[in-house]
């Protein structure tokens, strides 16, 4: 006999076990130490910046704009798989309890994000409101209520397959949420706060009525679930090998000039392969761009010269650590082992690529230091980055490469 409660427990348990398995590798000792240092530095400078704010600083606008994004973004975790559109489709009418549990789990995940988001912004709010932290809990309760309404609306929207409906829903909900939160954080009259709240309730009632005779879009729900897991696997693949991750290749024609300098010789086989993989496969190139931009922005905001210099190798460490999986990108491809190329050439090619990537990042980050006006600090940051890149690629990762 079909037991939807048992089915949900199995799906949730399996997914939780899968996530826990890879989270152990993501939050290993090295990354935790670096992230704690970066978060501590960011918190220090954030607190110092808050002290300089005038009383007329638009804190309500900033808080409403950013927290509205967290409230509006409301994916619902169904834990569906490809086979469900065949085997569970006939049982859709008996899955109401399953969907309620999915909504509850989704709510608790988003509630955690809201607590973090509000925790970050409440010092900003207090700075322009005479140090008033007492409204944290009332604000949190209102935000959680707002999230529940958004999750319910989002669930009803998933009965529509039209992309335009999903896009319109996201835009309308974000606008209404932002207005609601602006009125809330700016201390507007209760009637102004209630107006967008009532509008959200009317939106839920409207879509509930319109979707009453519609069936679930199983293909869409399964696609969304697979996309979320793929994103997680792509993140985990930066720290360990993930067999379930499907390779993605994206042609970046505008970067072909970087390949033109690689000679067409036997000893350049792996150099050609690794450079193309870095530029086109997975998310290696995107990771490098994101971390470089984030690092450059963080360095520019830091006014302490020594702090800028220390941050350069830290950002480079995060980049290098997450690019090491590139070494094993083709370990399951038998044809790579057929290359008539010596094994030491493969290692040499990988080290040359990783060293070059880190050298480029060191140069960009040192330019961010110089943009602040400190040419001496910029030269020291560049020297520290170049030294770190050489030590990291020729000594630090040697044991990992030898064991693969």
Q: Return the bridge partners of 249, or none.
A: 281
Between residues 297 and 70, which one has the greater pLDDT? 70
% of residues, the chain, pLDDT over 90: 26
**Quick one: DSSP state of residue 246?**
P
Best CA proximity match to 126, nearest among 112, 136, 138: 136
φ, ψ (nearest 5 deg) of residue 129: -130, 45
* DSSP code per residue over 307-342: HHHHHHHHHHHHHHHHHGGGGGTTTT-GGGGGS---
Q: Is the dihedral of CA 235, 241, 245, 251 positive or negative?
A: positive
The predicted pLDDT at position 184 comes to 93
Average pLDDT in the chain: 83
Report the pLDDT averaged over residues 35-61.
81
The predicted pLDDT at position 217 comes to 86
84-98, 142-156, 290-304, 332-346, range with the lowest pLDDT: 332-346
Q: Are 382 and 366 in contact (CB under 8 A)?
A: yes
62-66, 93-97, 112-116, 307-311, range with the lowest pLDDT: 307-311
**pLDDT tier at 26 (50, 70, 90 boundaries)?**
confident
Best CA proximity match to 125, nearest among 135, 115, 116: 135
Highest-pLDDT range among 89-103, 146-160, 218-232: 146-160
**Quick one: DSSP state of residue 281?**
B
The predicted pLDDT at position 255 comes to 62
Q: 259-285 pLDDT, tens per residue? A: 666 767 776 777 777 777 787 776 778
Whether the per-residue pLDDT at 388 is higher than 80: the answer is: yes
Highest-pLDDT range among 209-213, 249-253, 371-375: 209-213
CA–CA dist 231, 327 (Å, integer):
20
Q: Are 280 and 249 in contact (CB under 8 A)?
A: yes
Q: Are 295 and 358 in contact (CB under 8 A)?
A: no
Report residue 23 as tokens.
């989270």
Whether the per-residue pLDDT at 112 is higher than 90: the answer is: yes
Helices 4-26 and 218-236: angle between axes, nearest 10 degrees: 20
Best CA proximity match to 193, nearest among 145, 126, 151: 145
Helices 343-371 and 305-323: angle between axes, nearest 10 degrees: 150
The model's pTM is 0.73
CA–CA dist 321, 284 (Å, integer):
11
| Beta strands per DSSP E along 83-212 | none
**Quick one: DSSP state of residue 54?**
-
Between residues 321 and 343, which one has the greater pLDDT? 321
Whether the per-residue pLDDT at 106 is higher than 70: the answer is: yes
The predicted pLDDT at position 203 comes to 92
Q: Is the dihedral of CA 47, 49, 51, 54 positive or negative?
A: negative
Q: Are 207 and 153 in contact (CB under 8 A)?
A: yes
Q: Are 148 and 208 in contact (CB under 8 A)?
A: no
Between residues 165 and 343, which one has the greater pLDDT? 165
Report residue 313 as tokens.
């190798």
**pLDDT tier at 198 (50, 70, 90 boundaries)?**
very high
């Amino acid at each position: 006999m079909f037991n939807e409660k048992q089915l949900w427990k199995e799906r949730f348990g399996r997914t939780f076990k899968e996530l826990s398995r890879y989270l152990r590798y993501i939050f290993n000792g090295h990354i935790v130490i670096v992230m704690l240092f970066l978060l501590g530095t960011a918190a220090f400078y954030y607190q110092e910046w808050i002290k300089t704010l005038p009383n007329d600083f638009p804190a309500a606008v900033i808080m409403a704009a950013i927290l509205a994004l967290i409230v509006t973004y409301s994916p619902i975790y169904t834990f569906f798989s490809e086979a469900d559109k065949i085997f569970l489709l006939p049982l859709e009418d008996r899955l109401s309890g399953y969907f309620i549990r999915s909504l509850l789990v989704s709510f608790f995940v988003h509630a955690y994000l809201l607590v973090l988001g509000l925790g970050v912004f409440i010092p900003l709010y207090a700075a322009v409101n005479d140090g008033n932290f007492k409204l944290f809990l009332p604000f949190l309760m209102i935000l959680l209520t707002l999230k529940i309404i958004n999750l319910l609306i989002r669930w009803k929207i998933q009965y529509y397959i039209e992309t335009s409906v999903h896009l319109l829903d996201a835009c309308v909900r974000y606008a209404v949420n932002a207005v609601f939160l602006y009125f809330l954080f700016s201390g507007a009259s209760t009637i102004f706060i209630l107006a967008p709240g009532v509008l959200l309730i009317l939106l839920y009632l409207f879509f509930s009525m319109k979707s009453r005779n519609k069936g679930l879009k199983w293909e869409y729900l399964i696609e969304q679930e697979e996309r979320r897991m793929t994103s997680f696997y792509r993140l985990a693949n930066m720290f360990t090998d993930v067999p379930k991750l499907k390779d993605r290749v994206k042609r970046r024609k505008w970067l072909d000039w970087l390949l033109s300098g690689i000679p067409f010789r036997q000893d350049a086989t792996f150099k050609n392969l690794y450079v193309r993989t870095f530029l086109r496969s997975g998310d290696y190139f995107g990771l490098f761009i994101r971390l470089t931009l984030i690092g450059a922005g963080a360095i520019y905001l830091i006014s302490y010269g020594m702090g800028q210099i220390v941050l350069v190798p830290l950002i480079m460490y995060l980049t290098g650590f997450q690019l090491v999986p590139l070494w094993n990108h083709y370990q399951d491809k038998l044809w790579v082992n057929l290359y008539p190329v010596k094994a030491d050439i493969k290692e040499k090619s990988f080290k040359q690529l990783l060293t070059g990537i880190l050298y480029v990042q060191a140069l960009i980050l040192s330019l961010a230091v110089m943009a602040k006006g400190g040419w001496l600090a910029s030269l020291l940051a560049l020297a520290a980055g170049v030294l770190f890149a050489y030590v990291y690629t020729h000594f630090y990762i040697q044991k990992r490469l030898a064991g693969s």
